[in-house]
Amino acid sequence: MKALVTGGGGFLGLYIVEQLLDAGHEVRVFCRGKYATLDRLNVHVVNGDLQDRQAVATACEGMDCVFHVAAVPGVWGTWQHYHGPNTIGTTNVIEAARQAGVQRLIYTSSPSVVFDGEEHIDADESLAYPSEWLCHYPHSKALAEQSVLAANDDDSFRTVSLRPHLIWGARDNHLIPRLLQKAKSGRLRRVGDGTNVVSVANVENAAAAHLQAEASLRETVSAAGNAYFVNEPEAVNLWSWIDQILELAKLPPVKKSISLATAHRVGRGLEKLWTWLPLPGEPPMTRFMALQLASSHSYSIEAAKRDFGYTPIVSMEEGMQRLATDINRMV
């Protein structure tokens, strides 16, 4: 199989590339930057921007399937900052893939596309898209996901959308480093009462889910045109899990806390401040962040198991051991 991975130099994308190569597939990567790891893997790289329709079309030529992983993440920024790459970029991928005769498209979405400010406990795919959004990232991703699912054609172009929640693991260059940096600087605060549970997705399992979904689309339409939550079978207590990660880095547990009401109020004020001035970077707290850090968000993977045989390949214990090795390397 010839597979294109957009964002193949990123955290999740690189694991997908590696698993595809291990399975004996031919891999092409579409990304904006240069990555030494991709050079070492001897992967064919096409550099370009998702908003450049011709560049995307060139990348899709001759491919059997596309894993569309690339996106601009974050909780702060203008609508254009997210809508261009995430929404318009995904439309470009869909159109280019169709024109190139690509048969399957596996899209990396996010549970945040159905985040409505309420707690989700073992929620399933019946959750609807919200009518209001607290930040532009989930809104742009939701529009993109809807386009991916609407493009599904069981006969010629099968699509699926996967929603891995809180991706973590070895080689993480975003979530874990930021967490450790905040802890070291004394700026890490528990938000809420510390009882909230969340689903998490080890990066190796999230990558495996993409390959499992693609393999299913080759044989059947059971998953075609659908979105699926992808995470570990059991949710974790968020703040206990964070303390475990801090312990791996030989850092003390989180001791200071702030109530959800206070964090939400502070977030609202900082959002206004960053909008009015504006200030560089992102606010240290936003309403979206406050709700994410204090509320429970766990998701059922029964549909993914049923429709495309989702099976985690790394246990929680194994994942934490590998993360420990990675953290020891960093520190």
Whole-angstrom Cα distance, residue 81 to residue 137?
Answer: 9
**Cis peptide leading into 253, omega within 30 of 0?**
no
**Cis peptide leading into 278, omega within 30 of 0?**
yes
Q: Provide the 8-state DSSP code for 234.
A: S
Smallest CA-to-CA distance from 112 within 80, 79, 143 is with 143
Cα-based distances in Å from 254 to 125, 183, 244, 264, 272 = 33, 8, 10, 19, 28
Secondary structure class of 313 (helix, strand, coil): coil
Place of tokens 């994410």: 292
Active site residue 107: no
Backbone angles phi, psi at 126, to 5 degrees: -75, -10
Structural contact between residues 192 and 285, judged by C-beta atoms closer than 8 angstroms: no
Active-site hit among 15, 35, 107, 137: 137
Packing angle between helix 175-184 and helix 238-248, nearest 10 degrees? 80
Two structure tokens written together for 219: 């044989």
The catalytic residue positions are 137
